[in-house]
Chains A and B, each alone.
Chain A
């Protein structure tokens, strides 16, 4: 097995005439957390579906845990676990029944399933609610159960499609803690998210995807520095941001930028200069709002 848990080369996928993934290259080292960041419709879910054998790629090579997702589907399935965007839990069953069912389907014996179920219920703080039907659970509990179910069989690669979308801050933080614990156990985690803070907090490596292309890859720090040293922000009298321009922060660069802007921006606009955030990175890479980097 190579050192990469996930290796994607030249992946293309289209649905009819709509090109969803247009030449994706990725490599995720085993035991790391990888975040795929992108706006809605960027192709994140399609990519996760291809990696988890749900959808076949049109072109390119895709290997997960060393196996090809097309020709070695079964081996891939035995190495992965998917937590999809919609909680994959059975509403009419209890948490305990859900877990037991997946343990049994994962090849554990009845006794092993019982033990594993009890262990996971405890680990995910669901022991007190284990006998209640899942339809009575809150969004956060459902997500925790969903993640617990994904861990029923210890698989080396875990896919999480927008794991915290729709959760409140407390649930989100508790899920982050769990994800970081899983990383400690050596599990490779591939997650998609729309939240920059989430990628920033969890991921060793982040790739930004837009319009079917990977537009940048690196650590959070590397991506921030790619935007340039600092950001010039212009606000109108209502404190709304009207322009953001990256700058290296030198007098020369700032002066030149402001001179260029003098004709197109109202003179009352207020100027501030600050360090870039992940939001700036995201906007810079996925839209044309920010004028090209100059560094």
Chain B
């Protein structure tokens, strides 16, 4: 063996992650359709719920204060579902084999998509809040409450992004990943995001009051508009951390299991 073939020092953990995060953000920016959708959806939903449904749901005209947290989560859920497609795309193309045969932690390819999703969805959240303020949203939150609300939203996005990453890892193809992810996007409707759960049939109230989205909505709503939070914040954090943990373990497990198979 000749000396020109050096046993190069492999890329560090930090460099590896930085490269994959950069890659995923670049891919997000180039996926024009998804990018336009991610920005248009919050605007359209905000306008739709305020001007079309708002009057019927709350004749006092304060519906916008009620609905903002719901729209934020709806958009975040939609935005993070793209992660399932991105991850499935990588896992079913030849590129994953190249990453796996390099002396790097190849799971970082998934981490890159997760971070890009976090960035995309925080921007979408900013758009929702901006439009909300324009159409009459008047939050009562101070700096601490705002930090708390943004923290909760960030945790929610991270949780759902990892959940969608796991779905992307087990799905056989990008379109299958999109299909499985779609089901989850209905969760916010079955909560008190848009209407109070009191108006639902009894059996549905049980589901709506005890599903993870409801405490998250109540926490954000409480922090932003001063409605009572009580112990809902703990429920919100607890649910998110539980789902996050399950999703991480599921992702890790399916990433290893899929080694060398396509």
Contacts and interface: CB of A to CB of B under 8 A. Distances in A.
A1 interface: yes
A276 interface: no
A106 B8 CA distance: 8
Interface stretch (B99-107, B147-155, B195-203, B232-240): B99-107
Interface of A: 1, 5, 30-31, 49, 52-56, 65, 74, 77-82, 84-90, 92-93, 97, 101-102, 104-108, 133, 149-150, 153-156, 185-187
B101 A97 contact: no
B26 interface: yes
Given A53-B101, A80-B101, A105-B19, A92 B5 contact: no
Nearest to A159: B101
Contacts of A93: 23, 26-27
Nearest to B3: A186
Given A78-B10, A105-B19, A52 B101 contact: yes
B60 interface: no
A5 B101 CA distance: 17
Contacts of B15: 104-105, 107
Contact of A77 (B26, B93, B97, B101): B101
Interface residues of B, number: 32
B56 interface: no
Nearest to B99: A105
A82 B98 contact: yes
B106 to A, nearest CB: 10
A93 B90 CA distance: 13
B1 A156 contact: yes
Given A77-B101, A104-B15, A106-B11, 17 more contacts: A31-B1, A52-B97, A53-B100, A53-B101, A55-B261, A65-B1, A74-B10, A87-B94, A88-B98, A93-B26, A104-B19, A105-B16, A107-B9, A154-B4, A154-B5, A156-B1, A185-B4
9 contacts: A53-B100, A77-B102, A78-B8, A81-B101, A84-B97, A84-B98, A88-B93, A102-B98, A105-B11
Contacts of A185: 2, 4
A107 B27 CA distance: 22
Given A92-B27, A92-B31, A93-B26, A108 B95 contact: no
Given A1-B1, A55-B259, A92-B27, A105 B102 contact: yes
Interface of B: 1-2, 4-11, 15-16, 19, 23, 26-27, 30-31, 93-95, 97-104, 259-261
A25 to B, nearest CB: 22
A187 B11 CA distance: 22
Nearest to B4: A154
Contacts, number: 104
Contacts of B4: 154, 185-186
Contacts of A79: 7
Shortest Cβ-Cβ A-B pairs, 7 listed: A86-B94, A55-B260, A54-B260, A88-B94, A88-B98, A156-B5, A77-B103
Contacts of B5: 154-156, 186-187
B7 A78 contact: yes
B19 to A, nearest CB: 5
B14 to A, nearest CB: 11
B17 to A, nearest CB: 11
A105 B104 contact: yes
A97 B26 contact: yes
B260 A49 contact: yes
A16 to B, nearest CB: 12
Given A54-B259, A55-B259, A90 B23 contact: yes
Contacts of B104: 105
Given A104-B15, A107-B8, A92 B101 contact: no
Nearest to B22: A101
Contacts of B23: 90, 93, 101
A30 B93 contact: no
Contacts of A107: 8-11, 15
A254 B238 CA distance: 85
Nearest to B9: A107
Given A54-B101, A89-B95, A186 B2 contact: yes
Contacts of B100: 53-54
Contacts of A52: 97, 101
A56 B98 CA distance: 16
Contacts of B16: 105
A43 B98 CA distance: 20
A244 B111 CA distance: 58
Contacts of B99: 105
A68 to B, nearest CB: 15
A31 B5 CA distance: 12
Given A49-B260, A82-B98, A153 B8 contact: yes
Contacts of A78: 7-8, 10, 103
B97 A88 contact: yes
